[in-house]
Amino acid sequence: MKLVIGIVRPDKANDVLEALYRAEVRGFSLSRVQGHGGELDRVETYRGTRVKMGLSEKMRFEIAVSDEFVQPTIDALCDGGQTGEVGDGKIFVVPLERVVRIRSGETDDRAVTPLRT
Ligand SMILES: Nc1ncnc2c1ncn2[C@@H]1O[C@H](COP(=O)(O)OP(=O)(O)OP(=O)(O)O)[C@@H](O)[C@H]1O
Ligand SMILES: [Mg+2]
């Protein structure tokens, strides 16, 4: 299992949601974050030159998936999130040790996969 963290532009979040739905990825968390992607946005001079880091609004998806869903999840984030301009975002894939569904106590792969009813 992996935790796929995808940081995307706010105006691409809906496209990512649609792409995740098409990939049958159903469980995720979404939050608004501020981030910095390495660019030197703003330079202010005060007794010499110093660089100030600018922050931009991004959306952060956290998606816990079984191994077979890792690549489809990455593809959905890329397909939905890409404009081709700098600042499209990043994806981090983190090992996931344990998942528990609170309602049933089910764990791991049984807990990341939603019930099909
Ligand atoms: N190394 C990092 N660690 C954690 N978060 C990051 C990192 N790099 C980028 N982010 C997050 O991703 C957001 C978008 O980053 P950004 O798309 O600018 O990445 P980039 O690697 O600089 O790519 P690009 O060249 O397209 O700008 C940042 O605002 C920040 O929230
Ligand atoms: Mg950047």
Q: What is the pLDDT of residue 99?
A: 97
Sheet of 89-95, strand order: 29-35, 56-65, 2-8, 89-95
Q: Could you tell me the distance, in angstroms and rounded to a whole number, from the CA of residue 11 to the centre of ligand 1? A: 16
Measured between alpha carbons, how far is residue 5 from residues 30, 50, 58, 63 in Å?
10, 32, 12, 6
| Residue 58 CB–ligand 1 contact under 6 Å | yes
Tell me the pLDDT band of 103, cut-offs 50, 70 and 90.
very high
- Contact between 43 and 13 under an 8 Å Cβ cutoff? The reply is no
**Host H or E run for residue 77:** helix 70-81
Which domains occur in the chain, in start order? 2-37+56-112 (3.30.70.120)
Strand-strand pairing, 56-65 and 2-8: antiparallel
pLDDT for 54: 81
Entry pTM:
0.89
The model's pLDDT over 50-79, given as tens digits with 9 standing for 90+, comes to: 666 688 999 999 999 999 999 999 999 999
The string of pLDDT tens digits covering residues 7-61 is: 999 999 999 999 999 999 999 999 999 999 887 665 556 566 666 668 899 999 9
Distance 77 CA to ligand 1 centre (A): 14
- Dump pLDDT digits (tens) for 85-96: 999 999 999 999
- What pLDDT is attached to residue 105? 96
What pLDDT score was predicted for residue 1? Answer: 96
Q: Which one has a higher pLDDT value, 6 or 52? A: 6
The minimum-distance atom of ligand 1 relative to the CA of 34 is 31
Q: Whose CA is nearest to atom 2 of ligand 1?
A: 37
